[in-house]
Structure 1
């Protein structure tokens, strides 16, 4: 029993460190500053549900999925890094990226869904690091580890949702000018995260080729 409890704590802390709900809340605030409270809840709910499904799938069938589609973790890091960097540079300039701009009222629903799917769900919430962490935890020693991994990520998703919802109070406190500052700062952080993911992906690919 103590071993299982230790594994639960280890997995929960591991996911918390790699996913960082506090930092992601600041990013969420910056990306959804123009949305209503109800729309923010909807975006948060959808993004976290998608992230959970992705991580659960990789926890169950991670190695199979990678081999089936010929995907490597370095390739996932490079792609995610480029995407996050582009989003970050737009936010840094005080703009919303093209994926956030509607061309008209009829496109508003699709654009909001895009935010939930990318970049929130992938690669910010369910990024290469989170996926790799899930695979590592779930492949240790059987189905118990897989169940613990999925359950702890579900707990973290619930915690993150409440962080995102509480972010509305922060927005009201900061005001429009404060949110603009937060948006630019989070854009800088996202751009740096994107570059870091890109670097890790490139070095991972080089190391893999040397081993091959």
Structure 2
């Protein structure tokens, strides 16, 4: 049950932050004039890049936590602040957003700007490190990490499918539908960030015995 909860929480959070619906118009703009085969190849490469980046920070982030003894509570608080900012940006997008970048690249856009920063950014890093660092407390470390990897792969797969069928999805829901969905996602991402800040702050205070539930004095 705990593994299922971890999978669902990480999968839904990553999918919300990656936000394939927001990436769709950007992807179509970058791929304007390209054939279906090239669009699929670019979508595949971009999603593989996102998957590799997630796995890198999954391992490297947790190694840093162990090596430098960074408290999980602080990771949650900082990650929560980042998530809240991303959520507010999604809810009230500004003209100077990432949607305007990258078209003039003229080369391979599968890594920059499609994978980074459009789909993979600080919010994803904070989520991977903040949520999966809970695995350290698990009694089944290998199983829990396998669940986390599966959740990341599932979120990336959904993103890939969304990009492959980008034209059909955009034609069905339209630009206004994408905008509405993005704003709804932004609200929930902000709520997730607020939750991380709250729980991180409570855990930090408990660790110093300020609140009940912390370690005994002395």
Q: Normalized against structure 2, the TM-score is what?
A: 0.69
Matching residue of 2:131: 129
Deviations along 1:69-121, one digit per CA (max 9) or x if unpaired, are 23101110111111111111111113377566538835976444234442353
Q: Cα distance, 1:127 vs. partner?
A: 4.1
Q: 1:41 to 1:97 in 2, by over 3 A?
A: farther
Q: 1:151 to 1:67 in 2, by over 3 A?
A: closer
Q: Cα distance, 1:183 vs. partner?
A: 0.8
Alpha-carbon contact 2:75-2:126 (below 8 Å) kept? no
1:134-173 correspondence to structure 2 within 5 Å: 134-137=135-138, 140=139, 145-168=140-163, 169=165, 170-173=169-172
Alpha-carbon contact 1:26-1:182 (below 8 Å) kept? no
1:72-111 correspondence to structure 2 within 5 Å: 72-95=71-94, 102=101, 105=104, 110-111=112-113
Matching residue of 2:48: 45
When the two chains are superposed, the root-mean-square deviation of aligned CA atoms in Å is: 3.2
Q: 1:26 to 1:128 in 2, by over 3 A?
A: closer
Matched residue SS, 1:95: coil
Matched positions, count? 190
Unaligned runs of 5+ in 1: 1-8
Matched residue SS, 2:145: helix
Matching residue of 1:6: none
Matching residue of 2:195: 196
Larger Rg: 2
- Separation (CA, whole Å) in 1 of partners of 2:198 and 2:96: 23
- Separation (CA, whole Å) in 2 of partners of 1:119 and 1:96: 20
Matched residue SS, 1:35: helix
Matching residue of 1:18: 9
- Separation (CA, whole Å) in 1 of partners of 2:208 and 2:99: 37
Q: 1:162 to 1:104 in 2, by over 3 A?
A: closer
- Separation (CA, whole Å) in 1 of partners of 2:44 and 2:95: 19
Q: 1:178 to 1:81 in 2, by over 3 A?
A: same
Q: Normalized against structure 1, the TM-score is what?
A: 0.71
Q: Cα distance, 1:188 vs. partner?
A: 1.0
- Separation (CA, whole Å) in 2 of partners of 1:127 and 1:204: 16
